[in-house]
Amino acid sequence: MNTNPVDRWLVRKAFDQAAPGYEQHAALQREVESRLLERLPLLKLDPDQVLDLGCGTGRGSAALKLQYPGARVIGLDFAPAMLHEARQQSRWRRRLLLLCADLTRMPLAARSIDLIFTNLSLQWCNDLGQAFNEFRRVLRPGGTLLFSTFGPDTLTELRQAWSVVDGRSHVNDFTDLHLVGDALVTAGFQQPVMDSEQLTVTYSSVRQLLNELKGLGAHNLTRQRNHALTGKQRLKAMIDAYQPFRSDDRYPASWEVVYGVARAPAEGQPIRTGEGETASFSVDHLRGGKR
């Protein structure tokens, strides 16, 4: 459980507001998405049902459809305005099913999905265990989960600059790679493989960075944030504290990108809970069917 959770209602509102101009700010998100997509051929999958979680404007969903033209691709996002942007793309809208829902409570049948692909959406989830349990529910036995998220070494420069000004929460918290892996195992996923890399994006000013975060809907949305407007003096103090990071008149922002892949367990594979180990079976399995 995240010790400094985000306000989920505010996250949805922020992404709705950001949706019309999201793509002009999403260079980093596109880069991470392309790196995640490059991992798919290595997995040698042939899915019938593909789920793009946190699909946003639908760019990744379209790429998945190109990768697996015979598959049914479902794009799911909890921000209606993002799905509206996806529907505006005429070359996509007749080929994709778009759903508005929370990734922890999806309107999908159990054991109905072969591949869950989710790019930079898990950092907005306060309870990874709840999310992974839901992923496990909708994945078919042996189905694949492929994801990216941000790690705790993300926006360290901004976090340190704000810490000089006050002790309040100004930057969203991100979960350590090892804790993400532990949550996968606890949820019953098999063969998890985790890795990470550090990406740095530079800006002409600190204000450009702040404007980009807002344009993405990715500014500080924690419940412990200061709910009052940031005063000019405190903002200036933060910008001054950011100066030691400047190099060649550019201001860096670090992003720790965490990648993970895991398989859904076989039918009847027990998982550990607070009450002990539990196992589940489909009716078809008990009757001797494949699923």
Mean pLDDT, to the nearest integer, of 88-99? Answer: 73
Residue 193: pLDDT band with limits 50, 70, 90: very high
Residue scoring higher pLDDT (217 or 215): 215
Residue 272: pLDDT band with limits 50, 70, 90: low
Specify the pLDDT at position 284. Answer: 56
Specify the pLDDT at position 171. Answer: 83
CATH fold of 8-152+175-198+257-286: Rossmann fold (3.40.50)
Residue 208 clears pLDDT 80, i.e. is over it: yes
Digit-coded pLDDT (tens) for 32-83: 999 999 999 999 999 999 999 999 999 999 999 999 999 999 999 999 999 9
Buried b (16+ CB within 10 A) or exposed e, 164-181: ebeeebbbbbbbebeebb
Residue 257 β-bridge partners = 150, 197
Sort strands 49-53 and 72-77 into parallel, antiparallel or unpaired: parallel
* Whole-number Å distance between alpha carbons of 48 and 63: 15
Residue 274 clears pLDDT 70, i.e. is over it: no
Residue 267: pLDDT band with limits 50, 70, 90: confident
Residue 178: pLDDT band with limits 50, 70, 90: very high
Residue 229: pLDDT band with limits 50, 70, 90: very low
H-state helical runs in the chain: 8-18, 27-37, 40-43, 59-67, 80-87, 90-93, 128-138, 156-165, 177-186, 206-216, 232-242, 283-286
Specify the pLDDT at position 94. Answer: 58
Mean pLDDT, to the nearest integer, of 243-264? Answer: 97
Specify the pLDDT at position 148. Answer: 98
